[in-house]
Amino acid sequence: MSAFQSHYITANAIRMHYWREGRGPTLLLLHGWPEFCRTWRRVIPLLASEFDLIAPDLRGFGETEKPDPGPTDAMTVDVLAEDMLAFLDALGLDRPVGFVSHDVGAYVTQALVRRWPARAARLFFFNCPYPGIGRRWAEPEHLKEIWYQSFHQMPFAANLVGFSRETCRLYIGHFLRHWSGDPHAFDEDLEAWIDNFMKPGNLQGGFNWYSGARRARVAVMRGETPPVPPIEAPTRVLWGGRDPIIKAEWMDRLPEFFTNLEASVAPDAGHFVQMEQPELAAEEIRKFFGRVMAR
């Protein structure tokens, strides 16, 4: 069980769940898949004395409302960005805040900041998917890693994975182990992850992200993505060097898309730096935000 208190608020016409802990400059913590707000549980206690930490469940995930009970392609990155803007407004946070994002959350942050740049003070990304990855997503040797992105778009996928607690454990546990630098990183959290994904709608809710993102993902793989302006907000990227799904070698084009960039590799971490190496993650967040964001 988590010791963090749950909060709920209505934003963009859905009821959103979030954790909020600490005091100081506000940081919005955005998770990926297969995750929910609990992915930040090891980092929050290390930072709560210095920052106001807000960790929502994205639309379709965790305890946040799922307005589409079945498969849908309507859960696009733009919709999730609009959710987050409305979420900040509902909380009365009209001033710029810091964003700490991972995986799906990184897509959402980039979409939000490109549309509403004044809402972001600084950006921190773990293992950041970004347009510069391009065709490399679909290189022949990488196809064995991205198979799940197609499977999640099948109308029967959630029923198969959620057939029983054991099938859910086999499926979700595979990604938590395979994508981590340490395959035991989630051992003490695995049952909480299964509890989450066995709740009605939570598997399909997460899978709907892949249907909503399909068109944009295919365009990237074809090299047909239209040019986007670089993001000018100060940006820090910390990339797990052992991530098999979003590879650290793909950092090479980051400077083309982030003009004020500091980037480095955590060589022993995989996809989930914030869960695998929380002390390192917290220290880098603290250094990046603490030195400039006024209380």
Catalytic residue among 103, 130, 152, 171: 103
What is the C-alpha to C-alpha distance for residues 263 and 250, in angstroms, rounded to an integer? Answer: 12
Q: Name the CA radius of gyration of the chain, rounded.
A: 18
Contacts of 205 (CB under 8 A, 6+ apart): 59, 60, 61, 66
What is the C-alpha to C-alpha distance for residues 74 and 65, in angstroms, rounded to an integer? Answer: 14
Residue type, 197: F
The CA distances from residue 139 to 48, 135, 216, 226, in Å, are 41, 7, 17, 20
Nearest of 88, 113, 114, 103 to residue 28 by alpha carbon: 88
Task: State yes or no: is 18 an active-site residue.
Answer: no
Catalytic residue among 18, 107, 171, 210: 210
Contact 51, 79 (CB under 8 A): no
What is the C-alpha to C-alpha distance for residues 199 and 160, in angstroms, rounded to an integer? Answer: 14
Task: State yes or no: is 174 an active-site residue.
Answer: no
Catalytic residue among 17, 31, 102, 271: 271
Work out the angle between the directed axes of helices 202-212 and 190-197 (0-180°, nearest 10): 80
Task: State yes or no: is 57 an active-site residue.
Answer: no
3-state secondary structure (DSSP) of residue 248: helix
Enzyme catalytic residues: 103, 210, 271
